[in-house]
Amino acid sequence: MLAELRGLNEECGVFGIWGDPNAAQITYYGLHALQHRGQEGAGIVVTDGKSLQAVKGEGLVSEVFSTGKLDHLKGSGAIGHVRYATAGGSGIENVQPLMFRSSTGSLAIAHNGNLVNANHLKKHLERQGSIFQTSSDTEVLAHLIKKSGYATFEQRAKNALSLLKGAYAFIMMTEDEMTVALDPNGLRPLSLGKLGDAWVIASETCAFDIIGAEYIRSVEPGEFLVINDEGMKVDRFAFPAKRAICTMEYVYFSRPDSDIDGINIHTARKRLGKELANEVEIEADVVTGVPDSSISAAIGFSEATGIPYELGLIKNRYVGRTFIQPSQDLRERGVKMKLSPVRQVVNGKRVVMVDDSIVRGTTSRRIVTLLKEAGATEVHVVISSPPIKNPCFYGIDISSSEELIASNNSIEEMREIIGADSLTFLSVEGMVRAIGRTDEGPEAGHCLACFTNNYPTEIFTDTILPYKKELTR
């Protein structure tokens, strides 16, 4: 699916390193590996032991950190952040890492996720005199830390984190140390690695590969890591709750070369495709996947059915970001700019089109039309996840229930809307089984809320959906 058309967008990606004299440059490469998690803004903050310095901007990593931008960032500790693309406005003030300076020292914070009690906490803090400079949840944590009555930064940070509810993977940095925290449910992915003597933190393990770091382990839910020149101290700010990592990390968001809790994303997606093949019987001539996230599932479906896999759709990687187009008509035309059918492959063929999800249905409808205009006699759409019927409150830019096609239509009605000859979704049970997590319980450590409406945390009445936050910025 094409995330650029605003229907399903990841919140962001975080990266941190401590103990390497080229920290800024390494963070730059790490953010490049995480670019798929956010294309709207990027930032790097570095410490030399005495002060924090930052470079931030709107745009892609290569645009923000153009020639010479990192030359003055000297130090052996750094944190970085990429921010996702959306239809709404934003502004440089919301580009992370956020920096806070005071007489007692400076603090930089990079955050992946969404706090469901952010509004509740903001109102409380404002009554106490806090003034917020951004609309980011990240700033809530900074104010809570500042107002905490504990003596040390570690104590203040742990106390502040205990007040948060929702999804969060935080990397924080002061002049002399870096701290890492993951929410008690482990909703967002976060991994720990080593590069020589340096410690490395990243949203995905693919960032370790690009810099030559060794993967050590996943950061545990409720864990609080303190990293400084003396080494790493493992602590906790909360007991782990029922594990509920976002299932869409496996289905769509993460890069195929990343691993989450020991499970390779490409391999998991292949299994999703094979599970689909077990749940549906389709007579067809070729199987194709929607680039890029659905290719692995399409290969798995092909292997299980014996129907040949072909590159029936080609992605144009050099087209401007179509999410900025002002009308739905132009956004749909953007699909044609992004994707081109391979006529010789699909012409006169019965085509199985594998995709990872359907959100609003507009992109799926356009792709089906492209294939039929290229001569496909039949287009059978198979989706490697269940119907998305509920919004996400944890940092994924999923539209409101009113905009979700599956929340308002039956599968047959959806098939008619997108113009497919058949439409099949993977079952919840099949998806969980195929991914292969071994956690106890029927959900096996997944958050399935967007499919089942069973949210792993309390949802506050004033919780704001991520896409609404963007529209108000």
CB atoms under 10 Å from CB of 375, counted, come to: 15
CA distance 274 to 45: 43
Which amino acid is located at 372 in the chain?
Answer: K
Cα–Cα distance list, 38 to 43, 256, 298 (Å): 11, 16, 25
Residues annotated as part of the active site: 12
Both structure tokens of 322: 């179509």
Contact 381, 1 (CB under 8 A): no
CB atoms under 10 Å from CB of 131, counted, come to: 7
CA distance 422 to 152: 61
Cα–Cα distance list, 282 to 268, 288, 402 (Å): 22, 14, 31
Q: Which residues contact 76 (CB under 8 A, 6 or more apart)?
A: 18, 19, 20, 21, 23, 47, 48, 49, 198
Which amino acid is located at 44 in the chain?
Answer: I
Query: Concatenated DSSP letters for 205-224?
Result: THHHHHHTPEEEEEPPTTEE
CA distance 125 to 191: 32
Q: Which of 180, 57, 159 is nearest to 112 (CA)?
A: 180
